[in-house]
Amino acid sequence: MRILGIDPGYGITGFGLIESTRGQNKLLSCGAITTPAGADFSARLEMIYEDMRQLLAQSKPDAVAIEELFFGQNVTTGIGVAQSRGVILLAIRQAGLEVTSYKPMQVKLSLVGYGNATKHQMQDMTRRLLHLEKMPKPDDAADAIAIALCHARSSTSLLAKAQSQI
């Protein structure tokens, strides 16, 4: 199964594509969709949407996983990220794909076994699970890879298999 993980943002949207077969995972590609800081916000959303459509067409994922938003202290930034996430979700649906959302704590728990894991712990476990010498950059791409790995683990669980048979 080809899984595309997405870490949404309006300045940088990270993506990571993995191949998951019988519990074995391989990184196929990763990177980031970026938009210029000085551009009109609606133009930035259009860039993200068009780049996401192109990424989906090129990568041909079987499943897409995206990080659910977490509004910390900066709600203003969160609103912009929410709008970016919206155009990403639209592109995914228009491509005919289902999307699964994961909270940051779910991703951490799935990979590290601890919902309050640090960024360093997450990246180290991601690197180990994929047998990489070093973690890909930027951090947004690394986060997206972790989201894809979380989905690989969640979608192959016994519970997920049992639910799909109902």
Predicted local distance difference test score (pLDDT) of residue 107: 95
Instruction: Write the pLDDT tens digit of every residue in 21-48.
Output: 988 999 999 999 999 999 999 999 999 9
pLDDT tier at 157 (50, 70, 90 boundaries)?
low
Determine whether 67 is an active site residue.
yes
Confidence check: pLDDT of 162 > 60: no
Active site residue: 50, 67, 98, 139, which one? Answer: 67
C-alpha–C-alpha distance, residues 134 and 137, integer Å: 9
Q: Is residue 3 within 8 Å of residue 20, measured between CB atoms?
A: yes
Q: Is the dihedral of CA 97, 98, 104, 109 positive or negative?
A: negative
45 vs 114 pLDDT, higher one = 45
Determine whether 140 is an active site residue.
yes
Options 3.40.50.80, 3.30.420.10, 3.40.630.30, 3.40.50.300; CATH for 2-164 is: 3.30.420.10
Predicted local distance difference test score (pLDDT) of residue 69: 83
pLDDT tier at 158 (50, 70, 90 boundaries)?
very low
36 contact partners, CB below 8 Å, separation of at least 6: 44
Average pLDDT score, the chain: 90
C-alpha–C-alpha distance, residues 146 and 2, integer Å: 14
Helical H segments across 7-74, by residue range: 41-59
Active site residue: 19, 124, 140, 143, which one? Answer: 140
Predicted local distance difference test score (pLDDT) of residue 76: 65
Determine whether 143 is an active site residue.
no
Active site residue: 7, 62, 68, 143, which one? Answer: 7
Residues in the chain: 166
111 vs 73 pLDDT, higher one = 111
